[in-house]
Chains A and B, each alone.
Chain A
């Protein structure tokens, strides 16, 4: 399966600290996306990084992609209690594919 694997499964940090989540996948990709899911809600897209990009920033989010290691990381800086959620990576295969493969997620808890 192409499904990504996030690591760690759960992460608990103090407000103000940085949170790092990792994602590994198995086959060549067109892009990799990170999503956030608050409890009881649908997923919300955070950031997309293409296979020819190595790093991307969006506000307090920083995503890196290492295609040689087939891995990505999501860094949330200066975390807030409102960042408490589950975070998922999703991989899109080569261009033209019509679906994403989601990982199992990292549950982040930010303690005020």
Chain B
């Protein structure tokens, strides 16, 4: 009964380095999402995938790319990390677009 699993839990990068955040869900949900959470800003949507094979930009997509690898997995890639990308990243999934989201426990990323 894992729900949404994110890896890694913590990561420190130097400016310019790249990395991929992994997310997998075992609830057979169609839609998956990547959010970032910053103090005082709430959660902001980076990218989402309404269904397998599709991805769309959210509110703050610049500096990120995503891949919907299959129905279970949705990864987020930072090609050249910047200090402004220091944040907590949450992956979520839902059955359909506006139904309740199920969240992972987050990846805490620091870019120095």
Complex Cα distance, B35 from A97, in Å, reads: 16
Please report the number of residue pairs spanning A and B whose Cβ atoms sit closer than 8 angstroms.
63
What residues on B are CB-neighbors of A88 within 8 Å? 42-43
Q: Which listed residue (B33, B40, B50, B98) contacts A30, Cβ 8 A? A: B98
**A24 vs B97: C-alpha distance when bound (angstroms):** 22
Chain B residues whose CB sits within 8 angstroms of the CB of A90 once the complex forms: 101
Which residues on the B side are within 8 Å of A99 (C-beta)? 33, 45, 48, 58, 97
Q: Is the CB of B98 within 8 A of A97?
A: yes
A102 touches B48 (CB 8 A): no
Given A99-B48, A99-B58 in contact, is the A42-B103 Cβ separation under 8 Å?
Answer: yes
Partner of B103, one of A31, A44, A95: A44
Is the CB of B4 closer than 8 A to any CB of chain A?
yes
A91 to B33 alpha-carbon distance, docked (Å): 15
**Contact residues on A (Cβ < 8 Å of other chain), bracket:** 20 to 34
Report the minimal beta-carbon distance from B46 to chain A, rounded to whole angstroms.
10
CA distance A105 to B44 in the complex (A): 13
Tell me how far the C-beta of A102 lies from the nearest C-beta in chain B, rounded to whole angstroms.
Answer: 4
* Contact A31 to B101, CB < 8 A, known contacts A99-B58, A104-B41: no
A33-B43 Cα distance, complex, nearest whole Å: 14
- Residues of A9-34 at the interface with B, using a CB-CB cut-off of 8 Å, are 30-31, 33
**Bound-complex Cα distance A103 to B100 (A):** 15
B74 CB–A CB distance under 8 Å: no
Known: A42-B106, A98-B50. 16 other contacts (CB 8 A): A1-B59, A33-B101, A41-B105, A42-B105, A45-B100, A45-B101, A48-B99, A95-B98, A96-B97, A97-B97, A97-B98, A98-B56, A99-B58, A99-B97, A102-B35, A102-B43
A-B contact pairs, 16 of them (CB 8 A): A31-B98, A42-B4, A42-B104, A43-B103, A48-B99, A88-B43, A90-B101, A92-B97, A98-B50, A100-B101, A102-B35, A102-B42, A103-B42, A104-B40, A104-B41, A104-B42
**Chain A: residues with CB nearer than 8 A to chain B?**
1, 3, 30-31, 33, 35, 40-45, 48, 88, 90, 92-93, 95-105
